[in-house]
């Protein structure tokens, strides 16, 4: 599986931040249909703080970065969004402590932990028009990709084992044939020795 590096995670966070800031007004307009029209402002304030504090964040590991982002988000995003987003980053960061690279399998587990944390804190489920409606499909896609890779690897391993067994069988057959040939040659040699000895005795008489 291709590894995801710390630099990849940093790029992902920057992309999320840029998206939140670019769509600040749009998110507020969407929130006006079901809430108090401040979601865009709240989210943008948190990611604006991340951009401002970017150099001071912990860039020594993936987990360290995500845990620090969790603190900044929780501190700067108002309403219920702060704890929700903060929990997501915290849960994901807890599974990647001291890691500078992760696999897709790790990402699958981190996204699952983030989803479970959000559900536990806010009680939301898929279909409730929350962050989970985006996060769960992403996690499911990663999970499917991980499963596909595992099946592919299993197929490769089975093919290698079959080839290995075939090679072992071929080598064994070759060795048996060589042994049989040597045995036949030994018997032939013994037969020739007997003939020579018999002829020698006949001459001596």
pLDDT of residue 60: 96
pLDDT of residue 205: 58
Alpha-carbon gap, residue 107 to 140, rounded angstroms? 11
pLDDT of residue 93: 96
**Of residues 204 and 128, which shows the higher confidence score?**
128
* Residue 101: strand pairing partners: 5
DSSP annotation of 119? H
Element (H, E) at 204: helix 132-204
pLDDT of residue 134: 87
Q: What is the pLDDT of residues 28-55, one digit of tens each?
A: 998 888 778 888 999 999 999 999 999 9
Dihedral (Cα; 8, 27, 110, 67), 10-degree rounding: 80
Q: What is the pLDDT of residues 100-144, one digit of tens each?
A: 999 989 999 999 999 999 999 878 888 877 788 889 999 898 888
pLDDT of residue 61: 96
DSSP annotation of 55? G
Reading the block at residue 192, the tokens are: 């020739």
pLDDT of residue 191: 57
pLDDT of residue 160: 64
As assigned by CATH, the class of the 4-149 domain is mainly alpha
Q: What is the pLDDT of residues 153-200, one digit of tens each?
A: 666 566 566 566 566 566 765 665 666 655 655 666 565 556 556 655
């Amino acid at each position: 599986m291709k590894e995801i590096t710390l630099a990849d995670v940093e790029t992902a966070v920057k992309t999320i931040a840029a998206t939140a800031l670019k769509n600040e007004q749009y998110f507020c307009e969407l929130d006006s249909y079901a809430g108090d029209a401040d979601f865009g402002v709240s989210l943008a304030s948190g990611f604006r703080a991340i951009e401002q504090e970017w150099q001071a964040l912990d860039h020594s590991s993936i987990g360290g970065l995500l845990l620090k982002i969790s603190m900044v988000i929780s501190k700067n995003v108002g309403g219920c969004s702060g704890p929700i987003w903060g929990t997501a980053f915290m849960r994901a960061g807890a599974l990647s402590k001291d890691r500078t690279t992760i696999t897709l399998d790790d990402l699958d587990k981190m996204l699952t932990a983030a989803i479970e944390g959000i559900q536990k804190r806010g009680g939301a489920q898929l279909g409730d028009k929350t962050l989970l409606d985006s996060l769960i499909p992403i996690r499911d896609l990663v999970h499917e990709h991980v499963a596909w890779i595992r099946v592919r690897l299993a197929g490769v391993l089975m093919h290698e084992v079959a080839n290995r067994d075939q090679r072992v069988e071929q080598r064994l057959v070759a060795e048996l044939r060589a042994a049989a040939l040597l045995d036949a040659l030994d018997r032939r040699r013994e037969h020739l020795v007997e003939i020579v000895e018999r002829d020698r005795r006949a001459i001596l008489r």
